[in-house]
Amino acid sequence: MKALTLEVTRQYGEATHAACPCCHKRVQMMRIDPKKVSTLNGAFDLDRPYFYCKSCKTGFHPLDEALELAQEVHQYDMQETIARIAAKMPYDEASELFTQTTGLKLPGKHFGHDNLNRIGEVTKLEIVIPDKDEIEQRIDQAKGDSDELPVLAVACDGAHAPPAPKGEEAKGVRESGAK
Ligand SMILES: [Zn+2]
């Protein structure tokens, strides 16, 4: 993996021209941008060329794409691991367990929380919930030979609730229904 990264880095790191991802025109390198990269396998500094297409007004780092780098310093393997742990326990504990098991320190107290929020922003319910065909297939599977339709339950956790006024409590609603 490391050898491959080095090879890709060498190839892309020395390129003075690159094809624009929008119009595919070859554009000249503008500058070198340093980037800090942190992965479960360790951290390193990367100098990668930056290209800008004037026609499309788009800037891009081809090396980031080739290495499938996240925009953030902490790469997807770290983001996924902390997200999986943080889904099971409070953030403080999650971050402690992460450091104990990986030997890596997280950048701050809020990393676990911010990370899950970022994931939450893109994983809308319509993305997480399987589509109609998939659900029907699952119903068929669950039903088996029985005539009764199975119950479909959808739960959504992680709601933000403002601190409730005295004497009241923040309430959650869970809906489940059968056809
Ligand atoms: Zn372009």
Neighbours of ion ligand 1 (CB under 5 A): 20, 22-23, 53, 55-56
DSSP conformation class of 74: B
**What does the pLDDT read at residue 10?**
82
Determine the pLDDT at residue 150.
79
In this prediction, residues 98-127 reach a mean pLDDT of 82
The DSSP code for 167 is T
Residue 20's contacts (CB-CB under 8 Å, 6 or more residues apart) are 26, 27, 51, 53, 55, 56, 58, 60
Contact predicate 116/86, CB 8 Å: yes
Can you give the residue ranges of every domain in the chain?
2-66, 76-123, 126-177
Residue 6 CA to ligand 1 center (angstroms) comes to 28
Asked whether residue 56 carries a pLDDT value surpassing 90, the answer given is: yes
At residue 128, φ and ψ (nearest 5 deg) are: -75, -40
pLDDT band at 111 (very low <50, low <70, confident <90, very high): confident
Average pLDDT of the residues in 70-88: 91
Question: If you measure from the C-alpha of residue 151 to the centroid of ligand 1, how many angstroms do you get, rounded to a whole number?
Answer: 51
User: Which pLDDT band holds residue 179 (cuts at 50, 70, 90)?
Assistant: very low
Task: Give me the residue label for tokens 């393997």.
Answer: 77
The CA 12 to ligand 1 mean position distance, Å, reads 18
Tens of pLDDT, residues 10-24: 888 778 999 999 999
Cα(27) to ligand 1 centroid in Å equals 8
